[in-house]
Amino acid sequence: MTAFDPSQHPHRRYNVLTGEWLLVSPHRALRPWKGKVEETAPPQRPAYDPGCYLCPGNRRAEGVVNPPYDSTYVFVNDFRALLDEIPTAPTDDSPLLRIQGTRGTCRVICFSPRHDLTLPQMALTDIRRVVDVWAEQTAELGRSWRWVQVFENKGDLMGCSNPHPHGQVWAGDALPNEPTKEDAAQRAYRERQGSVLLLDYVRTELARGERIVDSNADWVVLVPFWAIWPYEVMVLPREPVLRLYDLSSLQRDRLAAITQRFLQAYDALFQCSFPYSMGWHGAPTDAGNYAHWQLHAHYYPPLLRSATVRKFMVGYELLAEAQRDITPEQAAATLRSRLG
């Protein structure tokens, strides 16, 4: 038997942020594919679409008319998943049937008045404006709500309902599952090691180099050691930052720049507008002590080997644990080769 090689032999990797394991099966990457082939989106869209509910001046589904906005535009989601006010929820007697009332709000963030653009196609100053809106929304909603989730679903593969460039922000009084796991892991690490988990992680990755996609004076883009999705990346500051609104003007400029660069590399990967779900995780916005936190973004793209072949989270993933074929190191090398 030959020596163990993580680029060839099945193994498990530990996600230090969530405490979950991942199965890596690099030898499977070359298996034949006779499964679902996704349609590719029509390449050209008009700069203005009279039928789009996000374009300036258009009427939305519930009758509200968008203003003639010329940069970003934020509005309260007409079909929000969380409401500011609800009656007090009853507690159930059974410990097996736990329920809690929850309050919050949801907004939609239009990134641009231009219907035909995506984030990486926008001018750098306009991407920078989106960074400011992410920060402003987190600051404003964070005054009322414990968790503010900024996110974007891009592409119909990720269930995005409209190609007009936009993201969302949901804010609520509960700490949802993913940040709860990250909070516990970062807190435990800080208690054990006396340092911040994700700062130590970035330093480790910069020293190793093999999973780094790109970096600049303030930011690192990497494929995490424990990435589940084929071309998943994390965006991390080099210095301690708790929340989006703590970023300096220069850090925001450099975030816009590195985001534009790696999103263009995403698009170049399979010559398509690369779909993903992304979102920001920063310290919760209640009065707790969150010195163990470090701001970061996750990008979860579904595509595996072309614009039309996606990864499904099914079978073993749903019933046992997540699994990937190409290694995070291979994915990082491929993304690096697509940087402009």
Q: Tell me the β-bridge partners of 75.
A: 108
Write down the least CB distance from residue 58 to ligand H2U, Å. Answer: 9
Report the residue number, 46 or 176, with the smaller CB distance to Zn ion. 46
Q: How far is the CB of 160 from ligand H2U (least distance, A)?
A: 4
Integer Cα distance of 36 and 311 in angstroms: 10
Site for ligand H2U in 33-72 (CB under 6 A): 53, 60-61
How far apart CA 112 and CA 164 sit, in angstroms, is: 8
Contact between 236 and 251 under an 8 Å Cβ cutoff? The reply is no
Burial class (CB in 10 A: 0-12, 13-18, 19+), 178: middle
Is the backbone of residue 26 left (phi > 0), alpha (psi -120 to 50) or beta? alpha
| Residue 181 to residue 337: CA distance in whole angstroms | 33
Q: Choose, by CB under 6 A, the member of 138, 168, 277, 285 that binds ligand H2U.
A: 168
Nearest-Å Rg of the Cα atoms of the chain is 21
What three-state secondary structure class fits 37?
coil
User: Looking at beta carbons only, is 57 or 209 nearer to ligand H2U?
Assistant: 57
Q: Which is nearer to ligand H2U, 42 or 87 (CB)?
A: 42
The binder of ligand H2U chosen from 162, 215, 216, 306 (CB under 6 A) = 162
Residues in the interface with ligand H2U (CB under 6 A) total 14
| Partner whose binding site includes residue 52, from ligand H2U, Zn ion, none (CB under 5 to 8 Å by kind) | Zn ion
Q: Applying CB under 6 A, which part among 121-129, 159-167, 238-246, 271-279 lies near ligand H2U?
A: 159-167
Closest CA to 260 of 125, 71, 127, 110: 127
**Closest to 56 (Cα-Cα) out of 107, 136, 112:** 112
Q: Among residues 29, 82, 160, 188, which is the contact residue for ligand H2U, using CB under 6 A?
A: 160
Of 8-16, 115-123, 161-169, 205-213: span binding ligand H2U (CB under 6 A): 161-169
Residue 161: which of ligand H2U, Zn ion, none does it interact with, CB under 5 to 8 A by kind?
Answer: ligand H2U
Q: What is the DSSP string of 67-115?
A: P--SS-EEEE-TT-SS-S--PPPPPPS-TTS------EEEEEEE--S-T
Q: Pairing state of beta strands 147-154 and 276-281?
A: antiparallel
Instruction: For the segment 87-146, give every residue that binds ligand H2U (CB under 6 A).
Output: 108
Q: Of the residues 115, 164, 166, 298, which is catalytic? A: 166
Amino acid of residue 304: L
161 interacts with ligand H2U by CB under 6 A: yes
233 by DSSP, 3-state: which?
strand
Residue 267 identity: D
Q: How far is the CB of 132 from Zn ion (least distance, A)?
A: 21
Q: Which is nearer to ligand H2U, 23 or 48 (CB)?
A: 48
In the bound complex, what is the minimum distance in angstroms from residue 50's beta carbon to Zn ion?
9
Closer CB to ligand H2U, residue 13 or residue 154?
A: 154
Binding span for ligand H2U by CB under 6 A among 36-44, 142-150, 154-162, 243-251: 154-162
Identify the CA nearest to 174 among candidates 245, 89, 237: 89
Distance of closest approach, residue 145 Cβ to ligand H2U, in angstroms: 17
- Please indicate whether residue 115 is annotated as part of the active site: no
Amino acid letter, residue 57: G
Residues with a catalytic annotation lie at 166
Binding site residues, ligand H2U, CB under 6 A: 53, 60-61, 77-79, 108, 153, 159-162, 166, 168
